[in-house]
């Protein structure tokens, strides 16, 4: 691998780039192709240079495809016009390898990866799937994404839909729930967002430390929820309103949408 070229450099690409820079990855070995002026401005601030399409021709370069699903097949055709057998890592949700391969020669090596936004802090979780003839690219993909967090290899491509809905979308679910905490804490802290942020960080780090210690989740709840106390009252209300079932429905909806995208772009 010589360089990494991000084909499409929106939010997820930028989180990976920031994580790689944090890990000490050489900026000169990170390039991008993107038409969006705002993205170009941000990447310039990171010290990342744009690439010419001619730089796609080097087969040792990794091309990371990170465009919207609706733009994916057109992007593949653009890439194939320059190189017919690329080393391609697709970050696009829902679109299967067999659909991506239609634009390239049989010698193309394509792997799918689904990273999370926490990659920017080297706390990402990335699922990786590749077919048996792409062992070298799978290995290189795992090495790359292990620099910005942890990575797992999936045995079946269909598992990518489950990961996308459960983990790929997961941070947004928790941010959504934290909005409730943020609103109430602002009242407690006299409207001082900085104090609220510090409280939420400690709050989440405390939960993280408990899990790192291997505490059982039910036991963790029992340690806080005393009989007839405030926590038990809150949890009982959540149970009565089927909050867990509703949360699970949300995850399933995200998984099903990933499957729908797969069917839309066969």
DSSP 50-101: E--GGGGG-TTSEEEE---HHHHHHHHHHHHTT-SS-EEEE--SS--HHHHH
Distances, alpha carbon 193 to alpha carbons 129, 179, 196, 205, in Å: 41, 12, 5, 18
Would you say the C-alpha torsion 242, 244, 247, 253 has a positive or negative sign?
A: negative
Structure tokens at 17: 């780039």
pLDDT mean over 42-58:
88
Alpha carbon of 170 to those of 17, 92, 181: distances in Å? Answer: 21, 16, 18
pTM, entire model: 0.86
Q: Residue 8 has what pLDDT?
A: 95
Domains of the chain: 4-163 (3.40.50.720), 170-261 (1.10.3730.10)
Residues 262, 173 contacting (CB under 8 angstroms): no
Tens-place pLDDT, residues 148-206: 999 999 999 999 999 988 898 888 999 999 999 999 999 999 999 999 999 999 999 99
Given this model, what pLDDT does residue 55 score?
80
DSSP H helices in 213-242: 217-224, 230-240
Read off the pLDDT of residues 12-38 as tens digits, 9 standing for 90 and up: 999 999 999 999 999 999 999 999 999
Q: What are phi and psi of 245, to 5 degrees?
A: -65, -40
CA–CA gap between residue 192 and residue 172 (Å, rounded): 23
Q: Nearest Cα to 64, choosing from 105, 12, 26?
A: 12
Q: Please state, in angstroms and rounded to a whole number, the distance separating the CA atoms of residues 152 and 129.
A: 9
pLDDT for the residue 59? 67
* Class of residue 21 by CB neighbours under 10 A (exposed 0-12, middle 13-18, buried 19+): middle
- Given a cut of 70, whether residue 266 has pLDDT beyond it is no
């Amino acid at each position: 691998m010589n360089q990494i070229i991000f084909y499409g450099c929106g939010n997820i690409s930028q989180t990976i780039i920031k994580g790689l820079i944090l890990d000490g990855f050489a900026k000169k070995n990170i390039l991008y192709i993107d038409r969006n002026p705002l993205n170009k401005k941000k990447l310039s601030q990171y010290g990342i240079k744009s690439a010419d399409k001619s730089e796609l021709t080097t087969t040792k370069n990794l091309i990371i495809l990170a465009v919207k699903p609706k733009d994916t097949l057109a992007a593949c055709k653009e890439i194939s016009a320059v190189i017919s057998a690329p080393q391609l890592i697709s970050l696009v949700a829902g679109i299967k390898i067999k659909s991506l391969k239609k634009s390239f020669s049989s010698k193309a090596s394509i792997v799918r990866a689904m990273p999370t936004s926490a990659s920017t802090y080297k706390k990402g979780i990335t699922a990786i799937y590749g077919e048996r003839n792409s062992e070298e690219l799978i290995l290189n993909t795992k090495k790359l994404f292990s620099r910005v967090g942890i990575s797992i290899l999936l045995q079946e491509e269909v598992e990518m839909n489950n990961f996308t809905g459960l983990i790929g979308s997961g941070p947004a679910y928790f941010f959504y729930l934290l909005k409730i905490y943020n609103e109430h804490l602002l009242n407690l802290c006299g409207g001082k967002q900085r104090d609220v942020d510090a409280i939420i960080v400690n709050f989440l780090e405390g939960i993280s430390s408990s899990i790192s210690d291997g505490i059982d989740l039910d036991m963790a709840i029992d340690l806080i929820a005393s009989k007839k106390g405030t926590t038990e009252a809150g949890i009982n209300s959540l149970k009565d309103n089927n909050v867990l079932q509703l949360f699970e429905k949300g995850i399933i909806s995200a998984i099903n949408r990933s499957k729908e995208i797969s069917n839309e772009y066969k």
